Structure 1
């Protein structure tokens, strides 16, 4: 029987379970933080598990076999192996794990087989130099530095596909080159009757064969040198002409072409609203990979403006497409309201449902408006199962909108305090799962993202629940768009009252520790069912 779904957090209650083999199934989402504590054999290979390696692995002191290969695990491995003194086989190959090898991996005293190939691991492998390994496969990663001398004693060693400075050379060919008959000694059992060829014809033929390549090389060198010289002269001529014409109006064809391209890039092209895909701006036609690279202009005068390209991995939408999807941002499509603006449900003609945050222009300062694309670029790179991903944006006609995946079961705040029927469905295990998922999201923002991302508005109304009551943290990365301080009352301060750490109220400084304080308040709210100021 094939399993399809997520691993339940009730696994930790299976105290006596020692062997767990759930390989070759369709399990997805993250590995539970809590696992049966007495496991000696754990095989979750060939599923679709994502996220990172849970910290609870470090508590499985009896574990002898661990196989998490062929999944979609990512992030850094973490210091998990300090207490796993019984582990003999570890396989985390064919995932998307990143970062350096943890120092605790060097304390695996009994490990004999270690497979980490086909990941994105980096740094050196010195922590493995003292292990008594029979098999080590670290191929196809981003390791660098030197291969430790101790690796020469490992019988099955595979290190290809890395950037080691002392990468072993390829094995020599098995065929031996033929020897010159004149240098061969007469051997009674060997082929000594080789035909004798006069020396003079061979020398002449060699000279003829060598003359052709030499002439070709000489002619090619002359041609290349001529091309380089011609290019240099042409560049100097163009530079001098550009300097001469800098103060005058450009009249050459190249200059007018550049102006036309610049105007075309800023011209707005109407796009039909018949599908979600057609809602992208026309400039995406110039970029077949689908990754937008809009340009931002600094300065107020056209002659001194400088352009800086900001890579954005989200889709660009037109205002008209979002108006159609949200029914002109009507009240019936309203999902909620935050410190930066309102959020609307967007139904696209192709059946896709998204959430659109329409940012109130009065909530942003002029500096934040100019750096809006940079903020979008940073937010679009946040990828975690418990973080609501940004899928698109719009900066057309002075509007600034953010498009997110739609999470359709409401917020944790509404379910806890405004829906008695829904709150009854939040069993103890469900509440623990919500707490752990929110903790994972915060851990990702603080520990994995570089530089760390401070959420600044961690509260139950920003924790969205899907149909399986899995949590998804919203508004991640929006701290860079803090409300305009010139506004009399900040909606963020009002909405976060009761969640803010004392040091924030006293100093106005918000750090990752402030997020952890807010997390504690949400946990009390989740476990007691009472409001922060109740």
Structure 2
């Protein structure tokens, strides 16, 4: 009997060991919750396609359940290959959590919308080719430093390429072909030290291809663009396709003095028959002076001669200094077009146009145009080299307008065309001869004095780099006669402030769906400025008057970057300190931060919820400040329902309203450290949309405030 009990005891021990032995493996195989959530959002964004077998909104273990196209290592998703499945919809907004993903291939589908600007950070291979993606290339590409293969060809991408390639030294293949990308190639392309294959054909690129000259390329296709200039010698020995451009005819100009002879990277160097010794000797470049050496000597003589001539002219100009001083004392007059053209011809006719050894400056060996505000004297000349500052021209992706152009388009900046007045100046409606309508902001002289024209050019350059569907696009600028103007895209439905607070018998009130859409789109704009742009951009002036609505009532955040880049912006913003949008710490210290932007955004959300102004002096004293009046009521559902905008007439989902109020409460907390980052605000608003599941049963079609697309935000991205 004792032996039987002992045997059963051993059997029990055996089964216990077996059971315990299997449990850890199942636990270890359980997919990381972040990856699970991101896959579900991706699945929903692609309209829950049946082609993706095993994928499910209810599934919680893609790695063990063998979701189609998903490869795992341990608990993390490492590869997603969903190419060629006829998928539609978008890629959603939540790809960044795939921290272990190295390969993402969604090529050859019918996916559209913008490429998500938050991408998996550790990819080595990204293929989005042959889809319907539009917009531009997101800045987050620049942070994927492990990327080796990038293919976004055969899409509908527009805009100019941003400087996003500076850190991608591992990239070996870049394919941007068959899009409508425009503008000059960015300087950061020259940092692709590992690239051997590049396809840029069938776009609308302009300018030269000099930035590609020293790359270790083996294959380069630049056909059917609008490139100009000459093909660098270094690229003539590779597999190059260059037809369909506007190349300059005739021999290329000689390289600047000190430039090493054109040569390919060693692994790409190929003999083209021109490498034989010039004197017929068998030891190549070891003895004798070749043709390049002679050319260098000749150029050096010309340089020395040019410098001597320069000093002779300088001495002559010094002798006639009374005339110059007499001219200096005259009031400054703007250059006319003939003078500008003459100055350009002086600079460009120089026989030797050197790039110098300092990349931030260029030396012109001919005498520079006279600066009408300064006279030449020996002390001044000896201290300062004759250099041209780095930022003297605005980027090519914005248009330079003349004052005359804008005067005609705005009716001489007439009151009839005045759209509004903000902290930095007045905004006018401008209609051009071709029928295009734009918005022109005249920057106040107090904000940007006339002597800061070069700073203005840099401001234009910085703002022109901001590209996001919910950020108002800068399309042009003007800097003449001491005036500084910015030209933006025009949005026909005006500002959110006007929509909420100015009665108009022809417009219907904004429905709840549309209010959530406006909040989410604005939050995404701020998330882009705060967390995608590098360095972060603090808006400093978030208010409903700076949220513009297009024909479909999609929001576009205006004045983005303006306060961040203008030197005297904070002083200009002080005048609006009592507007109701400023965070408590700004009122105390005058310091703007990312957290103060979040507070101001919370005030805008309160406007959307209540229909009240941020500060309204016509209200009783206890209700004048919207935040002070509303904050105590945000967590009381009965009080909350009473503070909702009466214009909604009770047509809103109660749970959605409550969660909307929860987000507001987080944003307008008095302590900045407790306010969430914008990425969390975006996620909270997206979850609100998903959970609320706003339907036609809740909000009827006859309650709209927009032409289309407001009543059914089926997916999060339809709200962007």
Q: TM-score, normalised by structure 2?
A: 0.45
Compute the displacement of 1:327 (Å).
1.2
Structure 2 residue 119 is matched with structure 1 residue 78: yes
Structure 2 residue 128 is matched with structure 1 residue 92: yes
Compute the displacement of 1:335 (Å).
0.8
Tell me the equivalent position of 1:330: 414
Structure 1 residue ranges without an equivalent (≥5): 1-10, 23-35, 83-88, 106-113, 127-136, 148-157, 171-208, 252-265, 271-280, 288-294
Structure 2 residue 400 is matched with structure 1 residue 301: no
Tell me the equivalent position of 1:502: 584
Q: Which of 67, 75, 91 is residue 106 of structure 2 equivalent to?
A: 67
Structure 1's 481 and 123: CA in aligned 2 closer, same or farther, altered over 3 A? closer
Compute the displacement of 1:437 (Å).
1.1
Structure 1's 369 and 221: CA in aligned 2 closer, same or farther, altered over 3 A? closer
Structure 1's 19 and 391: CA in aligned 2 closer, same or farther, altered over 3 A? same
Tell me the equivalent position of 1:205: none
Tell me the equivalent position of 1:18: 48
Q: What are the within-5 Å matches in structure 2 for residues 344-383 of structure 1?
A: 344-365=428-449, 368=452, 371-383=455-467
Q: Which of 598, 602, 605 is residue 523 of structure 1 equivalent to?
A: 605
Is the 8 Å Cα contact of residues 495 and 546 (structure 2) preserved in structure 1? yes
Is the 8 Å Cα contact of residues 317 and 394 (structure 1) preserved in structure 2? yes
Structure 1's 93 and 125: CA in aligned 2 closer, same or farther, altered over 3 A? farther
Is the 8 Å Cα contact of residues 394 and 461 (structure 2) preserved in structure 1? yes
Compute the displacement of 1:485 (Å).
7.7
The structure where strand makes up a greater share of residues is 1
Compute the displacement of 1:366 (Å).
6.4
Q: Which of 499, 504, 509 is residue 415 of structure 1 equivalent to?
A: 499
Q: Secondary structure at the match of 1:99?
A: helix
Q: Which of 515, 537, 547 is residue 463 of structure 1 equivalent to?
A: 547
Is the 8 Å Cα contact of residues 145 and 167 (structure 2) preserved in structure 1? no
Q: Distance in 1 between matches of 2:404 and 2:217?
A: 59
Structure 1's 80 and 299: CA in aligned 2 closer, same or farther, altered over 3 A? same
Tell me the equivalent position of 1:55: 94
Is the 8 Å Cα contact of residues 345 and 355 (structure 1) preserved in structure 2? yes
Q: Secondary structure at the match of 1:55?
A: coil
Compute the displacement of 1:387 (Å).
1.0
What whole-Å deviation, never above 9, does each CA across 1:4-53 have from its counterpart, x for those lacking one? Answer: xxxxxxx999899631789xxxxxxxxxxxxx955978889999999x96
Q: Distance in 2 between matches of 1:116 and 1:471?
A: 31
Compute the displacement of 1:400 (Å).
1.8
Structure 1's 72 and 485: CA in aligned 2 closer, same or farther, altered over 3 A? closer
Tell me the equivalent position of 2:487: 403
Q: Distance in 2 between matches of 1:367 and 1:211?
A: 55
Structure 1's 220 and 352: CA in aligned 2 closer, same or farther, altered over 3 A? farther
Is the 8 Å Cα contact of residues 356 and 404 (structure 1) preserved in structure 2? yes
Q: Distance in 2 between matches of 1:240 and 1:446?
A: 53
Is the 8 Å Cα contact of residues 278 and 290 (structure 2) preserved in structure 1? no
Tell me the equivalent position of 1:185: none
Compute the displacement of 1:242 (Å).
3.5
Structure 1's 71 and 329: CA in aligned 2 closer, same or farther, altered over 3 A? same
Compute the displacement of 1:367 (Å).
6.6
Tell me the equivalent position of 2:230: none
Compute the displacement of 1:408 (Å).
0.7
Tell me the equivalent position of 2:295: 227
Tell me the equivalent position of 2:530: 446
Tell me the equivalent position of 2:699: none
Structure 1's 428 and 248: CA in aligned 2 closer, same or farther, altered over 3 A? same
Structure 1's 222 and 17: CA in aligned 2 closer, same or farther, altered over 3 A? closer
Is the 8 Å Cα contact of residues 410 and 431 (structure 2) preserved in structure 1? yes
Q: Distance in 2 between matches of 1:441 and 1:123?
A: 25
Is the 8 Å Cα contact of residues 416 and 423 (structure 1) preserved in structure 2? no
Is the 8 Å Cα contact of residues 476 and 488 (structure 2) preserved in structure 1? yes
Tell me the equivalent position of 1:139: 173
Is the 8 Å Cα contact of residues 138 and 159 (structure 1) preserved in structure 2? yes
Structure 2 residue 566 is matched with structure 1 residue 481: yes
Structure 2 residue 248 is matched with structure 1 residue 248: no
What whole-Å deviation, never above 9, does each CA across 1:420-461 have from its counterpart, x for those lacking one? Answer: 668755223222221121111111111222222111101111
Q: Distance in 1 between matches of 2:489 and 2:556?
A: 10
Compute the displacement of 1:212 (Å).
9.4
What whole-Å deviation, never above 9, does each CA across 1:392-420 have from its counterpart, x for those lacking one? Answer: 11222222211111111111111112236
Is the 8 Å Cα contact of residues 96 and 119 (structure 2) preserved in structure 1? no
Compute the displacement of 1:236 (Å).
2.9
Q: Distance in 2 between matches of 1:284 and 1:20?
A: 63
Q: Distance in 1 between matches of 2:217 and 2:314?
A: 56
Compute the displacement of 1:101 (Å).
2.9
Is the 8 Å Cα contact of residues 426 and 441 (structure 2) preserved in structure 1? yes
Structure 1's 336 and 138: CA in aligned 2 closer, same or farther, altered over 3 A? same
Structure 1's 381 and 467: CA in aligned 2 closer, same or farther, altered over 3 A? same
Tell me the equivalent position of 1:255: none
Of stretches 303-312 and 443-452 in structure 1, the one that deviates more from structure 2 is: 303-312
Q: Distance in 2 between matches of 1:213 and 1:426?
A: 84
Q: Which of 402, 417, 432 is residue 318 of structure 1 equivalent to?
A: 402
Q: What are the within-5 Å matches in structure 2 for residues 246-285 of structure 1?
A: 246-249=314-317, 267-269=335-337
Is the 8 Å Cα contact of residues 317 and 393 (structure 1) preserved in structure 2? yes
Compute the displacement of 1:375 (Å).
1.0
Is the 8 Å Cα contact of residues 166 and 192 (structure 2) preserved in structure 1? no
Q: Which of 596, 611, 614 is residue 514 of structure 1 equivalent to?
A: 596
Structure 1's 475 and 466: CA in aligned 2 closer, same or farther, altered over 3 A? same
Q: Distance in 2 between matches of 1:425 and 1:520?
A: 21
Q: Secondary structure at the match of 2:173?
A: coil
Q: Would you say how many aligned residue pairs link Structure 1 and Structure 2?
A: 401
What whole-Å deviation, never above 9, does each CA across 1:303-322 have from its counterpart, x for those lacking one? Answer: 35864243413212121221
Is the 8 Å Cα contact of residues 392 and 457 (structure 2) preserved in structure 1? yes
Structure 2 residue 406 is matched with structure 1 residue 341: no
Is the 8 Å Cα contact of residues 139 and 161 (structure 1) preserved in structure 2? yes
Q: Distance in 2 between matches of 1:326 and 1:514?
A: 35
Q: Distance in 2 between matches of 1:402 and 1:438?
A: 22
Q: Distance in 1 between matches of 2:104 and 2:294?
A: 66
Is the 8 Å Cα contact of residues 358 and 400 (structure 1) preserved in structure 2? yes
Is the 8 Å Cα contact of residues 472 and 558 (structure 2) preserved in structure 1? yes
